[in-house]
Amino acid sequence: MVDVYQVLQTGIYGITCESISAGRTNIEVVQQLLDAGVKIIQYREKDKTKREKYQQCLTLRSLCDAAGALFIVNDDVDIAMAIKAGGVHVGQDDLPADVVRAIVGPDMVIGVSAGTPNEAAIAVAQGANYLGVGPVFPTGTKLDAGDAVGLANLAQMVQMYNIPVVAIGGINEKNIMDVHQCGVACAAMVSTLVGATDIKETVSTIWRIINSDRR
């Protein structure tokens, strides 16, 4: 299995969303994210057919492999297995983490979305490799995201569990410092990255902010 701790320590977790990518395809956006140095990419597309997702994921996994990046498929365990992805991320309405592990075997990274301490505790007990906690702030990217958990709850869940926490939801250059100071492994962003006019410059700006807190 990939060392998920090491990958997440890069600070930025990119997630696809072709509908808000300024007319660019997922292939174009992910290539730009990889060129900018992002080392973890999640493929999340709710409105495409299985075949469309499978075909895009084949290409994206290849791009990530070439860049030494971890490629994760959201929800679709079957597609993750078919393309030999590095990981799969599931939500509260998907298969439980322990069931996913029984399906995918020991080598695939499993991330689980959690919006409450109870959801997080269950995911940890079932063997999740990392938690995706959010939405931290209100977001329009994911329509069923639920109420914002806020920074205090985010910091609490970071302290409660011994696996990496990835913050997600409404995160941008203006609030990334507050999120980072909660002790998260990294922050997942959608519109901030894929909708950026200059993806490389946006990634560089976010890294400068994160690294200024580490010094």
Residues belonging to the active site: 44, 113, 142
CA distance 84 to 57: 10
Q: Which of 188, 179, 189 is nearest to 210 (CA)?
A: 179
Contact 167, 154 (CB under 8 A): yes
**How many other C-beta atoms are found inside a 10 Å radius of the C-beta of residue 35?**
13
Residue in this structure with the two tokens 């799969």, named with its chain if needed = 88
Q: Which of 65, 97, 70, 61 is nearest to 9 (CA)?
A: 70
CA distance 84 to 2: 13
